[in-house]
Copies of this chain bind each other. A is one copy, B any other.
């Protein structure tokens, strides 16, 4: 088998190849639709946020010096001369020895330089308030631009947008957000035995599992998949599908046809594409070895293994990163996606010279998370369903031992998973 792959690459080499792809062009997303999109340029504040001096507490706007030395026993007395109404500009000026009622978020009246919290005040009568603690100038006050001064950097190019980022952009009046276009992925299934999922397979036939799995993976990674259909293992049919895919998409994923002849067919088809460059003909990992990666300009042509288990491992390890790269996501911050640490529940062997990805199920016992390797007969799909993630055995390693701590790359649902009852996991 080995001899068939002329450009077998290690996983590190493949990751470097992937990092050679360029981000896609820019488009503008409505801020309401920006979740998970990646900024295509630095965003600077077009105006001050906040735009005016605001109180950060409920209380009394004052001149700080009027409160100096105030105590419970010797409170400062202020005459109440006004009230700040939310959303309105306070009319008039706050003079020495006076105070204005002010709600959280209210605009500071002219002349005021601090706010006394309502807890540190005591009403003598409707017109007079006792201040029982001094405030320093600017205490409980947010100045214009304290959040973001006009022209300052708000969010950097390559940042993937979260809920709060969208809120801040909206707060600054940035309603159209410059982002990298979502990668479009043409998903092609090949194989004479594959039938559409809506059809009842005859003996010898199977439904198109790969299309559904790989399309969902793309959505999960922020890409736009579209399935071109199922094609027989014939040069003309596959060549046309690849050309159609390349025209409409940023990359083409062929999967299916796991038999030897078909793998050759995929490469032969790729080689007819103008400016095609073969980058990897095989990756030295298991499962997932018979993967072909090439490019034509900035468009990737990928031949994924036909078996869905192998195809998904390659997607998790490499295609997610390629999609991220095309989205222009900053690699600097991707360390945030840490695998979770678990304790291996039994020994796992591996052949030296091979990088293995082992499916594991996570189980919790008495606060400890165990990774239980799933040893399934080769070719079974069910192993993916019962597993929660992957562990990796390095190429130079002959195996991992029971009790060892291993990082687990979890499979994702594409959604925020709720946090597991805070108090328990945060006990010290």
List residues of chain A with CB under 8 Å of any chain B CB.
Answer: 1, 11-12, 15, 31-32, 34-36, 49-52, 54, 56-58, 85-90, 103-107, 118-119, 140, 142, 146-148, 154-155, 160-173, 175, 191-194, 197-198, 200-217, 219-222, 233, 258-261, 306-308, 312, 315-317, 320-321, 323-324, 329, 331, 334-341, 362, 364, 369, 377-382, 384-385, 388, 392, 394, 397, 407, 409-423, 425-428
- List 9 interface pairs A-B (beta carbons < 8 Å), by A numbering: A103-B258, A105-B258, A148-B382, A167-B210, A167-B212, A167-B384, A172-B207, A338-B369, A394-B428
**A424 → chain B closest CB, angstroms:** 9
Checking B86, B140, B164, B397 against A411 with a beta-carbon cut-off of 8 angstroms, the contacting residue is: B164
In angstroms, Cα B321 to Cα A337, docked, is 21
| Candidate in A167, A222, A377 with the most chain B CB atoms within 10 angstroms | A167
- B216, A35: Cβ atoms closer than 8 Å: yes
Checking B168, B261, B323, B413 against A384 with a beta-carbon cut-off of 8 angstroms, the contacting residue is: B168
- A86, B191: Cβ atoms closer than 8 Å: yes
**A91 → chain B closest CB, angstroms:** 11
- A364, B335: Cβ atoms closer than 8 Å: yes
Number of copies: 2
| Candidate in A219, A381, A427 with the most chain B CB atoms within 10 angstroms | A381
Query: With a CB–CB cut-off of 8 A, which chain B residues contact A308?
Result: 164, 167
Query: With a CB–CB cut-off of 8 A, which chain B residues contact A87?
Result: 191-194, 204-205
- B425, A407: Cβ atoms closer than 8 Å: yes
- B321, A419: Cβ atoms closer than 8 Å: yes
A56, closest chain B residue (CB): B379
Query: With a CB–CB cut-off of 8 A, which chain B residues contact A169?
Result: 212
